[in-house]
Amino acid sequence: MAEVLPLVGSVRGFRWWRLSGNAELLSPWRGPVIWRPGENEASCLARRGMFGWKMSRTPHPRGCPATGCECGFYALHSLPELNDGLDKAIWEIDTATSGGQHGLVLGVVAGSGRVLIGTEGWRARFCRILALFAGPTVTNHTREMGVAAAAHGVPLYRDLDAIVSEWGPDRAEVASLTA
């Protein structure tokens, strides 16, 4: 088991959401989990029922997220990189298409509480949205993204470099956490 290091504050990362028809931000791959403004608390989705994911009421002894489980809010240390190969992961979507036809939205979050740090990213018990990004050529969901950003009280960026420089994870902090 890896050494547990207590840290003060939160860690930042990049992640995707699905944009619903009524401008709500949903977990992109784990069922209809709606992100609320402010701090969100993760629940374990270890049980999968016949009709989709079910929240588990059996907490992990040390809380969510737990090693050996997939629970917690996910985020990446760096922007997702486009990969056209056969080993493409679900995170590897072109960031310029955020808010486009696929209905996925890229943004920056802050994770806190129990946080498990990995080489590519982290999982956290608590998470809040800091900023959202709409690709520069995206026009079809811009209004809904503006509504979602306003509902969460966060800025909506159209310039990827600007959101990364203002809200992206601190590279030195990431290096110290993954070393």
pLDDT tens profile 140-153: 777 889 999 999 99
Q: Which of 124, 17, 121, 129 is nearest to 77 (CA)?
A: 121
Query: From start to end of the chain, where are the E strands?
Result: 11-19, 25-26, 40-41, 47-49, 52-54, 73-76, 104-117, 121-133, 156-157
**pLDDT at position 84 over 50:** yes
Mean pLDDT of 8-14: 88
Mean pLDDT of the chain: 82
- In contact, 113 and 122? CB cutoff 8 Å: no
Q: Which residues of 5-21 are buried (b: 16+ CB within 10 A; e: fewer)?
A: eeeeebbbbbbbbbbee
Return the pLDDT at 147.
Answer: 93
Give, in order, the Cα–Cα distances in Å from 82 to each of 19, 26, 33, 39. Answer: 20, 22, 26, 29
Residue 83 has pLDDT above 70, yes or no: no
- Classify strands 40-41 and 47-49 as parallel, antiparallel or unpaired: unpaired
Ranges 5-9, 77-81, 85-89: which has the least confidence: 85-89
Residues 6+ apart with CB under 8 A from 24: 34, 35, 148, 151
User: For 66-70, 101-105, 156-160, 175-179, which range has the lowest pLDDT when averaged over its residues?
Assistant: 175-179
Rg (CA), the chain: 16
Cβ–Cβ under 8 Å, residues 138 and 146: no
19-70 pLDDT per residue, tens: 988 889 998 876 678 999 999 998 876 655 545 545 545 567 777 888 878 8
Q: What is the pLDDT of residue 58?
A: 55
Q: How far is CA 173 from the centre of its chain?
A: 18
pLDDT of residue 1: 47
